[in-house]
């Protein structure tokens, strides 16, 4: 059995977002992919984005960084 964590949090402060990303990065080496190499496999990842859904007009998110479990 695995213990899965999923988060989708928006922060006003970039430093708060980076602090969470840095902590997640420190745990990345312990993370596992699920059913690696199989058709139904799942790859663990960390995404950091600039979200502009609170702006007028609304603009799409911009991916800043993506890290995947290797």
In contact, 42 and 33? CB cutoff 8 Å: yes
Per-domain residue ranges of the chain: 14-68
In contact, 33 and 69? CB cutoff 8 Å: yes
The predicted model scores a pTM of 0.81
Tens of each residue's pLDDT in the chain, 70 residues: 999 999 999 999 999 999 999 999 999 999 999 999 899 999 999 999 999 999 999 999 999 999 999 8
Q: pLDDT value at position 3?
A: 95
């Amino acid at each position: 059995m695995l213990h899965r964590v999923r988060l989708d949090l928006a922060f006003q402060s970039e430093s708060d977002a980076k602090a969470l990303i840095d902590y997640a990065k420190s745990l990345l080496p312990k993370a596992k992919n699920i059913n690696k190499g199989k058709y139904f496999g799942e790859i663990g990842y960390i995404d950091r984005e600039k979200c502009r859904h609170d702006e007028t007009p609304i603009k799409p998110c911009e991916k800043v960084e993506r890290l995947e479990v290797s």
